[in-house]
């Protein structure tokens, strides 16, 4: 069964407003080009995402915030939602397609059309909280998808795994009191957004790790914390905030992970999903700003999602 790859052309029209902004449209191009060059494009089925509906957003964001995003969206030019998250005339549409991709992915895996789905989307989402944009993120895509799965499909246990180099603070804020969600985030500490190291909640498994952390140390931490917690939790759906800025070549952070580490975690998460979730995995692109390692890492991640049995 092939992997679903969900994106939309409007996601490439979003522009944060800075000429050299790291969260750029070329990120999606790097993934798409690498998929074609490596042949992974042939083992994926591509879908255009739908627009997220207002009710999807309101499950995880306050109404006042959603209204503010819509009101702030410009007809032309650029505006800033926060210090590093900009909007042009295409941004609102891109953000709605990004969140809508997560909803569509949930529908596809819950229907059994695909076991695994990858959302090649921007803007990313994991820093967006209930009431604010942050860190290039407007709507929290993975949270929108998870809340939709809880509400519409009546799931009782969803695991969200975030291996971005930055803490998924928005996702943690949204689900910190939701015992139906197990949230696991590894991140460089101390580092932006300077949260998560002191979290002590039963459904949150954070791994704050120092700059310079390589694959061996990271895998050891994951094996000691996330994997046993997930197996005890027995998720009915595994969702991934797939941030590839933890790669050694990405200077947005100081981690030293390599493609083989992303391959390893993808296999581990697929195996746990096979054990308790009928194989269901939904992965959403988060960070990854150096184009070559992003393209290589994301493509290997997608390839494993396609080939894992």
- Measure the CA–CA gap between 289 and 309, rounded to whole angstroms: 30
DSSP letter string, 145-209: HHHHHHHHS--S-EEEEE-SSS--HHHHHHHTT-TTEEEEEEEESS-TT--STT---TTEEEEEE
Helices (H), the chain: 26-38, 54-58, 63-72, 91-110, 141-152, 169-175, 215-224, 226-233, 259-276, 291-307
In Å, how far are 18, 68, 79 from 75, measured between CA atoms? 18, 15, 10
Distance of CA 57 to the CA centre of its chain: 16
- Measure the CA–CA gap between 78 and 86, rounded to whole angstroms: 7
| 87, β-bridge pairs | 79
Residue with tokens 């985030």: 185
| 177, β-bridge pairs | none
- Measure the CA–CA gap between 284 and 120, rounded to whole angstroms: 7
Q: Is 224 exposed, middle or buried (0-12, 13-18, 19+ CB in 10 A)?
A: exposed
Residue positions annotated with a catalytic role: 127
- Measure the CA–CA gap between 179 and 162, rounded to whole angstroms: 17
The two structure tokens encoding residue 140 = 């929290």
């Amino acid at each position: 069964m092939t992997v679903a790859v969900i994106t939309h052309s409007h996601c490439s029209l979003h522009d944060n407003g800075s000429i050299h902004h790291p969260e750029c449209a070329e990120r999606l191009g790097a993934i798409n080009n690498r998929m074609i060059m490596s042949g992974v494009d042939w083992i994926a089925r591509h879908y255009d995402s739908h627009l997220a509906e207002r009710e999807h957003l309101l499950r995880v964001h306050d109404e006042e915030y959603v209204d503010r995003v819509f009101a702030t969206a410009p007809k032309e030019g650029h505006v800033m939602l926060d210090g590093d998250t900009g909007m042009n005339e295409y941004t609102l549409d891109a953000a709605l397609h990004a969140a809508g991709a997560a909803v569509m992915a949930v529908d596809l895996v819950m229907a059994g059309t695909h076991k695994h789905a990858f959302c090649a989307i921007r803007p990313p989402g994991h820093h967006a909280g209930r009431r604010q944009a942050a860190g290039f993120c407007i709507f929290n895509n993975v949270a929108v998808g998870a809340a939709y799965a809880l509400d519409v499909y009546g799931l009782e246990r969803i695991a969200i795994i975030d291996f971005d180099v930055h803490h998924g603070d928005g996702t943690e804020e949204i689900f910190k009191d939701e015992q139906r969600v197990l949230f696991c985030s590894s991140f460089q500490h101390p580092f932006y957004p300077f949260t998560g190291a002191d979290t002590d909640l039963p459904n949150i498994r954070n791994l704050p790790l120092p700059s310079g952390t390589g694959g061996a140390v990271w895998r050891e931490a994951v094996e000691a914390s996330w994997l046993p917690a997930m197996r005890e939790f027995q998720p009915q759906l595994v969702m991934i905030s797939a941030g590839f800025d933890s790669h050694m070549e990405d200077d947005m952070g100081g981690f030293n992970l390599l493609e083989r580490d992303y391959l390893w975690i993808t296999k581990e998460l697929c195996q746990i999903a096979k054990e308790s979730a009928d194989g269901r995995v939904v992965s959403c692109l988060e960070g990854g700003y150096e184009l070559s390692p992003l393209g290589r890492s994301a493509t290997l991640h997608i390839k494993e999602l396609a080939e894992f049995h």
